[in-house]
Amino acid sequence: MNRSEILKTADQLINSDRAKVYGPAKKNHEDIAKIWSVILGIEVTDWQVVLCMAGVKIARASNPDTYNRDNFVDGAAYLSMTNALLMKKNGDL
């Protein structure tokens, strides 16, 4: 899978497949943030959740002996979602 295919697949996951299963990404990650906030005892935001999930994918992808394309697709999707949430937060959308 080349770079363009990874980005196209990530876009499809964000805007169709996963949205149908989990609902709107913003609401889903706000709900996760609420749970993480209780567990961690600090306020966690939706964009921090998504950025941390990208970090999980980066950590998994950092071992070339356990290559899994999904880590790269999901990582691209999470980073794209982080960008969108921060743009909205900062009034850039």
CA neighbor of 75 nearest in space, from 1, 5, 29, 6: 6
Largest CA-CA distance found in the chain, in angstroms, rounded: 42
The pLDDT tens digits for 13-63 are: 877 767 778 888 889 999 999 999 999 999 999 999 999 999 999 999 999
Query: What is the rounded distance in angstroms from the CA atom of residue 55 to the CA atom of residue 22?
Result: 20
Q: What pLDDT was estimated at residue 1?
A: 79
- pLDDT-based confidence at 11, cuts 50/70/90? confident
The domains of the chain are located at 3-89
What pLDDT score does 93 carry?
A: 58
Cβ proximity of 33 and 46 under 8 Å: yes
Q: Summarize the confidence of residues 62-84 as an average pLDDT.
A: 92
| pLDDT recorded at residue 45 | 96
